[in-house]
Amino acid sequence: MHMPLIGAGTFRLQGQTAIDSVANALDLGYRHIDTAQIYGNEAEVGQALAASGVPRGEVFVTTKIWTEHLAADALIPSLKESLVKLRLEQLDLTLIHWPSPKAAVPVAESMAALLEARELGLTRAIGVSNFTIPLMQEAIDAVGAANIATNQVELHPYLQNRAVAAFARAHGIPLTAYMPLAYGKVLTDPVIGAIAARLDATPAQVTLAWLLAQGHTVIPSSTRRENLASNLAARALVLEVDDLAAIDGLDRGERLVSPDFGPHWD
Ligand SMILES: NC(=O)c1ccc[n+]([C@@H]2O[C@H](COP(=O)([O-])OP(=O)(O)OC[C@H]3O[C@@H](n4cnc5c(N)ncnc54)[C@H](OP(=O)(O)O)[C@@H]3O)[C@@H](O)[C@H]2O)c1
């Protein structure tokens, strides 16, 4: 199956909160769940998936390889551990979560290991996350753009990441917008609020519709069933050109996720 354009994120969700969020998401109709080795909730995601009764072929599951597992001899064993926790035979998508700190492991080495994982049937697709333009170029040089299913990056009205988006588009690599609501920060924005009020929508729906209009996949997270439901309904919201342009105007390069081991951003 293709990656559904709206997925449910699970960063920060632990224990029963993670189980409940994924269970609610699947019950409401989400068919795309985003987790990661470092989130410490793959087992809870797996439990909720198993209990949901949703056939395996109907839900798209992504995990991300942590930086300590990027070397050729570590990546596949770590992915196998993720599969056990998730109670799955195969991931739909496996990403390099962050480029290797200080380039300790070459991009080409990790991409080759991911490709091997795909050939072994451990994952249906492979990709990257938090990759800058030079790092995307390295990944393309290693395995070819056609083998890179996505670059998952921080992307919301306050951080529009235009250079990365243009480069990815030029190479046919779709972007997945993480933290699409800027962890709630954009929801009190007056421009977004005014559009939402006029369209009888929520600020979250307007923000997600703006990202979807650019062809990006979005993976908002929520611990609340009503928010999960209304976020999914953003699929039906189509914004007019003027409203899209007004949100385009909100970019202020405000990056919320920038750990000290991260890359030099574009
Ligand atoms: N690749 C990476 O390095 C990376 C980094 C960060 C995140 N991610 C992925 O991206 C996903 C999304 O990012 P995120 O969870 O950090 O931030 P987010 O989705 O931008 O925002 C989540 C916050 O917004 C609130 N919220 C969600 N829907 C809402 C609504 N309709 N109305 C009001 N508030 C709403 C949630 O609160 P409630 O729970 O109260 O609804 C939560 O506090 C993560 O879960 C993770 O899967 C990836």
CB atoms within 10 A of CB 121: 9
Strands 151-154 and 175-178, how do they pair? parallel
30 annotated active-site: no
Q: Output the tens digit of pLDDT for each of the chain's 266 residues.
A: 899 999 999 999 999 999 999 999 999 999 999 999 999 999 999 999 999 999 999 999 999 999 999 999 999 999 999 999 999 999 999 999 999 999 999 999 999 999 999 999 999 999 999 999 999 999 999 999 999 999 999 999 999 999 999 999 999 999 999 999 999 999 999 999 999 999 999 999 999 999 999 999 999 999 999 999 999 999 999 999 999 999 999 999 999 999 999 999 99
Q: Specify whether the CB–CB gap between 103 and 60 falls below 8 A.
A: no
Q: Specify whether the CB–CB gap between 8 and 35 falls below 8 A.
A: no
Strands (E), 104-211: 123-129, 151-154, 175-178
Rounded Cα–Cα distance for residues 38 and 57 (Å): 25
Residue nearest to atom 45 of ligand 1 (CA): 9
The active-site residue, picked from 30, 39, 158, 183, is 39
Q: 41: Cβ below 6 Å to ligand 1?
A: no
pTM: 0.98
Residue of 41, 185, 222, 261 to mutate, ligand 1, most atoms within 8 A of C-beta: 222
Q: Specify whether the CB–CB gap between 254 and 158 falls below 8 A.
A: yes
